[in-house]
Structure formats: structure tokens, C-alpha cells
Amino acid sequence: MEKHSTEQLNAVCSQVRRDILRMVHACQSGHPGASLGCTEFFVALYFDQMKHDSSFNPDGKGEDLFFLSNGHISPVWYSVLSRSGYFDTEELKTFRKINSRLQGHPATEEGLPGIRVASGSLGQGLSVAIGAALAKKINGDDRLVYALMGDGEQQEGQIWEAAMCAPHHKVDNLIASIDVNGQQIDGPTKEIMNLLDLKAKWEAFGWEVIVTENGNEITQVIKSLEKAKSLLGNGKPVLNLLHTDMGYGVDFMVGTHKWHGVAPNDEQLENALGQLEETLGDY
Amino acid sequence: MEKILDTKYTYTEKKDTRSGFGDGFLEVGKKNKNVVGLCADLIGSLKMGAFQKEFPDRFFQVGISEANMMGLAAGLTIGGKIPYTGTFANFSTGRVYDQIRQSIAYSEKNVKICASHAGLTLGEDGATHQILEDVGMMKMLPNMTVINPCDYNQTKAATIAIADHEGPVYLRFGRPKWPIFTPADQPFEIGKAWKMIEGTDVTIFATGHLVWEAVVAEAILREEGISVELINIHTIKPLDTAAVLASVAKTGCAVTAEEHQFNGGLGDIIAQTLVRNQPVPQEFIGVDDSFGESGKPEELLEKYGLNAENIVKAAKKAIARK
């Protein structure tokens, strides 16, 4: 894959944010907040870091694989998949509508290229990613497995089963990230169920932990992922604490849980799109 | 009682169905290198030790974390593996229902959920472990195949057969030593009911351990001049509808026998099939909306009305209702 400049990557981010807002607005449903917050991470993965094939082979042999555990941020994933060639951007129009392959939460049943497992019910994606990483080891496939979880999702018990399992089985071909935006549906994570020191927790479970201080700065995201890769192959999985701002890129959405699962109205959409340059052409 | 009866199938040895699973698992592991195993701290109970010893690189001890095990299994299919998960039936279903629903069934993953210690015949451990709802939960899930073999030989054959079936499977077996009464070379075809005994007065549809009780019941009924057709429903989903309807067209009434709640079990799906196509009287042998308790397997089957004697009574009642 040709290397993209920082400018090009930022241009993709701007377009992806427009896609997210327009998709969620069109069906008046979906989760714009963390989708906007994780845009740089997805663009860094699909446009810079991962070796992947948009013609899509579900088995993913010889490719890097990505698993989204917090499936409600499907808008950002769908936009990035379509913008990187997995399916036509026109299909983004069908998001959350009847007879669509773009289900509210990611699914395999409709055969959308790029999706390998359903997610949405929280806490399950890391376990699946570990399984896929173990399969790569058995197959002698040296490509990597990436996973993303939410920070609110850390409240699910299964996460900690998986956290215990990966170091035990020396799954050192896995980079898991947590979107640390400090928000969940009912409010700030600190008030809902305080996660306290995630770094200490994951280290205690035997992971190499790195911190991305600003996950909305694409050069920092890429630098972190490069560092994560350099730590692999030593018997430990890597956990990346990816600090982001929920709603990043739209001034009235940023930093609040209020836009976790709410769609903008016509006026709000116009306001938001006015803050984001159309770089690759709206679908 | 069994020895003086002239049963159509006989046995010389008793063995647990979980050993049929363990032996089948080793054999299928030798045949198919994509088969991998996972177990949540019950390798001995599930008889998975021989496979683990033979294929240590294809086996994962995951500790007491069944939810994670189901996710791992789903992930292992991505890359072409055929994972067999092993734990007790309770922890293979109710405990991890959402994981199975989303990561395996809805995601169409080729995972084989292998569940031991199902039903009352688990015995002394009591109701916390004697799951009687698992077949219902699993057969409600789209894409899921549900198999409940009856003895060591059939369990071994089923364990081998499911590797060649693309898609999620729930394989249910148990703990007690049970008669080995089916031939070792009996072909096992998923979704194809096995007519074990031909008859004309009543059809008994039986699954799991209760197939043996039905074999005994047939001999008792035959001595009384009643002709029983016995059909072994090892695959509860997809149900062999054609075999069910062809049999009741001849006999005109049915008894279902299973180690499970009435709700959600084999009796339910047979009743649905009959009501939709060809309503005939049906009697149910199973557990009637209650939890189990501690005791010896035979004592429990007697107390909860799941033995041959009860099948005999149910058959007579079904015939009388024709």
C-alpha cells in the first residue's frame, strides 16, 4: 500500500466525519459521539497501518485483522471500510434502513465485506480477537490482530476473562485498544462505574500497556501503533489506552455523553458539516 | 428387569456418553487437522485429555471462563479452525447464551459446543448443574444444529460427524454409565432420524439417555400385545419432519421421551410438527416445569417420571386417546 501523507490522512478523517454525521442524520438513529472520536484511529488502521485486502476474504489469511468490540460505533467503521474500497460509498445511504447490509450494529449475516463477526452486545470482541490471533499462530501466519473496545465496556466481566487469557497463552500478535473518552450512555464513566487506573489493571493482568495521550492527532495514533508493533513477539499482548474526545471535530458535540446515541437534526447537521471540509466527495 | 425382558437391542457393557465424546474427539482430531479443542477447567470430566496429550498445540485450557471460551472459539474459526468447546451443559448454554447468540450463531461461526453432564442423570450434584433447559435455548437460535445422542457409540459417531458439518452445533451428552446398545458401525447422519423398531400402534420418539428406556418400554408393551415404533431422534434440530409424519401416519399417536423440560424440548418441536401437519394424540415424557435435585440417576428418573415404566403408561394413554 502506498504511504499517505499526514495531510492526506487528515483529509480522509474530515470526509469520514461527514459520512458519519450524514449517515446518522439520514436514519435519525445511531451513535455519532464515539464514532467521531475514533475517526483518526480507524483511518490510521485502514489507510496506514494494516495490511488488508478490500476484495475481502473472511478467513483473512495473510492479512492483518481488525475486530470492533464496541459495535455501536459502526458508522465510523462502515465509512472507513467503504472509503478504503470494501464497498461502494453509495451504500452508506442505507445505514440502519430496512434490507440494508449496514445493520445498526455490525453483522455478518447480510455479507457486508470487512465484517468477520457480529458485535454490539458488549464485552465479546476481545475474546474473538484472541481466538483469531491463536488461529494465526497455529497457521504460521505472522500478520497481526487488532481490536478496539470502549472504556465503558471495561465494566463487562468477559473483558477481564479475556484479559487474563491472552498473556497466559502468550498471544503476542495482538494489539488491543481502548477508546478512553470517559463517557458512557448515562454519563461520565467516573460517575457511572469508576474504572480507576486502567493502566495498572491491564499491566497487572500481564499486558504491555502503552498510552496514546491524544487519539485525535493522527500522527500520535500512528506513532503509538508503531510502538505497539515493536513490543510484540515477546510473549505479551499489547494494550493501547487511546485517549479521545467523544464527538471530536464538531464543536457542539465534543466532550459530552449527550451525543453518544443521538442523531443531529437538519439544522445541527448543517452546522456540523460547516465545520468539516468535504475532501473526497460526499456519497 | 432388563435381563428377563426380550429387548430388541441388548447390551453387554455400560459406558458414559462423555467417553464416547472423548474417544470421538481424539479420532476426529487425527482425521482433521483443523479440529482444535478448548476447555474451561473440565478436561477430565469431558474426557478431552487424550486429544490434549496428542495435539497440545491445538488445545487451549482457558480456565473457568466460559464466556471467553465461546469468544475464542468464534475467533478461531476465522482462519479455518473447527473449535470444539468443552464444559458442562449448564455452562455451555445458559451461562454463555449471549456469547453464543452473537459471536457464534448470528455470526455463523463453525463452532462445536460440546456439553456434558446434561439432565437429571448427572445425579448427586443437584439442580445447579442438572440443566433441563439447554435444548430449548439452543434450538431457539437460528443457524444452530442440536444433537443429543443416546449411548457411547452414537455419541462417538456424532462427535466425528459434526466436524464435516459447516455451522454451529450443540452436542449434548452426559455423565452416567449407560447401556451401549447401538451398533458401533451404525451410520450417523445429522438430521436423519433412525427408525430402530418398526411398529403399528404407537410411535415413541426418544432422544438421549431415554432412548434406552424406550427400548425397554417397547419390550414391555410387546409382551402385552402392543406394537411400538421406536424412532431415535438424535438430531432435534433440524428435525427429520418427514420421518416423524410418516411414522404417525401409520401409528396414529405419539409419545416423546427426553431428559429435559417439556418446555422447549423434543416434545415441543414434535407437537409443533404434528399440529401443523397431522394432529394426533401425543403424550410427553420429560420434566414438568421443575428443577431437579440430588440423587442417583435411576432414582431421579423414577421420581421425575422419566423411566421405561412411565413411557409404557404414556404409550397406553396415547393409544386410548386415538
Are the C-beta atoms of residues A205 and A167 closer than 8 Å to each other?
yes
Grid coordinates belonging to A77: 467503521
| B275 located within any domain | yes
Same domain flag for B151 and B74: yes
Q: Which of B71, B102, B106 sits opposite A131 (nearest CB)?
A: B71
- Is A127's CB within 8 Å of B75's CB? yes
Same domain flag for B143 and B51: yes
Contacts of A118 in chain B (CB under 8 A): 102-103, 106-107
User: In Å, how far from its chain's centre is CA A53?
Assistant: 18
Q: Quick one: what percent of chain B has pLDDT higher than 70?
A: 99
Locate cell 401425543: which residue? B282
Smallest Cα distance from A169 to chain B, Å:
8
- Rounded-to-5 percentages of helix, strand, coil across chain B: 40, 20, 40
Residue B68 scores a pLDDT above 90: yes
Q: Quick one: what percent of chain B has pLDDT higher than 90?
A: 99
pLDDT tens per residue, range B82-140: 999 999 999 999 999 999 999 999 999 999 999 999 999 999 999 999 999 999 999 99
Whole-number average pLDDT of chain B: 97
Instruction: Indicate which of B62, B76, B78, B85 best probes the interface with A, i.e. most A CBs within 10 Å of its own CB.
Output: B78
Q: Which domain holds residue B41?
A: 14-179
Q: Is B106 on the interface with A (CB under 8 A)?
A: yes
Alpha-carbon distance of A160 to B26, in angstroms, equals: 31
- Is B78's CB within 8 Å of A132's CB? yes
Grid coordinates belonging to A183: 463517557
Quote the pLDDT of residue A257: 86
Instruction: Indicate which of A127, A145, A149, A170 best probes the interface with B, i.e. most B CBs within 10 Å of its own CB.
Output: A127
Q: What length is written for chain B?
A: 322
pLDDT tens per residue, range B254-268: 999 999 999 999 999
- Is A135's CB within 8 Å of B76's CB? yes
Residue B292 scores a pLDDT above 80: yes
Residue B267 neighbours by CB under 8 Å, 6+ apart = B256, B258, B282, B284, B285, B286
Q: Is B107 on the interface with A (CB under 8 A)?
A: yes
CATH number at residue B120: 3.40.50.970
User: In Å, how far from its chain's centre is CA B112?
Assistant: 14
Strands B14-16 and B177-179: antiparallel
Same domain flag for B42 and B154: yes
Alpha-carbon distance of B46 to B59, in angstroms, equals: 13
Same domain flag for B161 and B213: no
Same domain flag for B169 and B42: yes
Q: Which of B75, B79, B106 sits opposite A130 (nearest CB)?
A: B75
Same domain flag for B232 and B85: no
pLDDT tens per residue, range B201-211: 999 999 999 99
- Amino acid letter for position B114: C
| B187 located within any domain | no
* Domains detected in chain A: 6-273 (3.40.50.970)
Alpha-carbon distance of B179 to B3, in angstroms, equals: 12
Instruction: Indicate which of A124, A139, A153 best probes the interface with B, i.e. most B CBs within 10 Å of its own CB.
Output: A124
Choose one of B126, B148, B179: the last residue of a domain.
B179
Choose one of B179, B214, B233: the last residue of a domain.
B179
pLDDT tens per residue, range B143-182: 999 999 999 999 999 999 999 999 999 999 999 999 999 9
Nearest to A35 by CA among A96, A78, A83, A84: A78
Instruction: Indicate which of A134, A153, A170 best probes the interface with B, i.e. most B CBs within 10 Å of its own CB.
Output: A134
| B91 located within any domain | yes
| B8 located within any domain | no
Helix, strand, or coil here: A155?
A: helix
How confident is the model over B24-30, as a mean pLDDT? 98
How confident is the model over A214-227, as a mean pLDDT? 98
Same domain flag for B175 and B285: no
| B19 located within any domain | yes
Quote the pLDDT of residue A255: 85
Phi, psi of B82 (to 5 degrees): -115, 90
Among chain B residues, the shortest Cα distance to A159 is held by B68
- Tell me the H-state helices in chain B: 17-31, 43-46, 49-54, 66-77, 89-92, 97-99, 134-140, 152-161, 210-223, 241-251, 266-277, 297-303, 308-320
Smallest Cα distance from A158 to chain B, Å:
6
Q: Which of A58, A141, A165 sits opposite B62 (nearest CB)?
A: A165
Q: Which of B68, B77, B83 sits opposite A165 (nearest CB)?
A: B68
Exposed e or buried b per residue across A33-71, where buried means at least 16 C-beta atoms within 10 angstroms of its C-beta: bbbbbbbbbbbbbbbbbbebeeebebbbeebbbbbbbbb
CATH number at residue B236: 3.40.50.920
Nearest to B266 by CA among B242, B220, B231, B318: B231
Same domain flag for B19 and B163: yes
| B58 located within any domain | yes
How confident is the model over A250-274, as a mean pLDDT? 95
Residue B2 scores a pLDDT above 60: no
Residue B183 scores a pLDDT above 70: yes
Return the bridge partners of A184, or none.
A187
Contacts of B62 in chain A (CB under 8 A): 165
Same domain flag for B131 and B249: no
Locate cell 491472552: which residue? A166
Q: Is B276 on the interface with A (CB under 8 A)?
A: no
Same domain flag for B174 and B44: yes
Are the C-beta atoms of residues A64 and A146 closer than 8 Å to each other?
yes
| B287 located within any domain | yes
DSSP A129: H
Question: For B220, left (φ over 0), alpha (ψ -120 to 50), or beta?
Answer: alpha
Residue B51 scores a pLDDT above 90: yes
| B78 located within any domain | yes
pLDDT tens per residue, range A135-183: 999 999 999 999 999 999 999 999 999 999 999 999 999 999 999 999 9
Interface A–B counts its CB contacts (< 8 A) at: 118
Q: What length is written for chain A?
A: 283
Same domain flag for B220 and B284: yes
Same domain flag for B146 and B199: no
How confident is the model over A201-212, as a mean pLDDT? 98
- Is A118's CB within 8 Å of B107's CB? yes
ipTM: 0.97
Exposed e or buried b per residue across A145-184, where buried means at least 16 C-beta atoms within 10 angstroms of its C-beta: bbbbbbbbbbbbebbbbbbbbbbebebbbbbbbbbbbbbb
pLDDT band at A117 (very low <50, low <70, confident <90, very high): very high
Grid coordinates belonging to A265: 437534526
Contacts of B74 in chain A (CB under 8 A): 117, 127-128, 131
Domain count, chain B: 2
Q: Is B98 on the interface with A (CB under 8 A)?
A: yes
